[in-house]
Amino acid sequence: MSILNDPSMKEIVEDFCQEADSLFNFLEKSLELLEENPVNSKELEKFGQIIDRIMGAAKSIGATEIATFCELGKVIGYKSSQIKDVRLIEVVVAVLFDSLHMLRKMNQSLREGSDKSMNKLNTKAFVTRLNWLSEKFKDIERASCAIDANATLSQTSIDELMKSLGL
């Protein structure tokens, strides 16, 4: 039995959901600031750091879909902080808003007792945008996007993350 289905762990799962909701609000504020000033790469860094916290907590309770989705958001946030193309950053912000919306739905689904929340989401357009962005970022290497200490997150790894979500 996973922690998500263990009645004795319900309080831990609820604590995760509440903390995630709080962090989602911070993510939303960062994205709103980026809408106003797309060249503020510090907000993209901040987005990556906050979503990384959610990812770690999700992994610790066994919410693998949420964790994997957060990992994709982290990579997009960190890698996009390295670009200067305002129009591309505006697209990134839109995609990250979509990602945040989906994460909120996934978190709500988890709170309601369903640990398989991706099946309820329409992800086709989102996947198209993720694929397009990953192509734009393929040459950006970033240590904070590493799977382990000796490797950066490659395009293949991004594809594997998306595949693990069924995207």
Sequence ranges of the domains in the chain: 3-164
- At 118, list the tokens: 């991706």
Cα–Cα separations (whole angstroms), residue 72 to 15, 36, 113, 133: 23, 24, 24, 11
**Cβ(134)–Cβ(95) below 8 Å:** no
Share of the chain above pLDDT 70, in %: 74
> Three-state SS for 137?
coil
Asked if residue 142 has pLDDT above 50, the reply is yes
**What integer pLDDT is reported at residue 21 of this predicted model?**
96
Burial (Cβ within 10 Å: 0-12, 13-18, ≥19) of residue 113: exposed
CATH number of 3-164: 1.20.120.160
Work out the average pLDDT over 126-148.
66
Q: Note the pLDDT tens digit of each residue in 69-122.
A: 898 888 888 888 888 889 989 989 998 998 899 899 989 988 887 656 555 666
Is residue 146 over pLDDT 60? no
Q: Which amino acid is at 130?
A: L
Confidence of residue 19 (pLDDT cuts 50, 70, 90): very high
| Separation of alpha carbons 96 and 100, rounded Å | 6
Query: How much is the pLDDT for 100?
Result: 93
The pTM assigned to this predicted structure is 0.78
Q: Are 75 and 91 in contact (CB under 8 A)?
A: no
State the Cα–Cα distance between residues 165 and 106, nearest whole angstrom: 12
As separate numbers, helices (DSSP H) first and strands (DSSP E) second, the chain gives: 6, 0
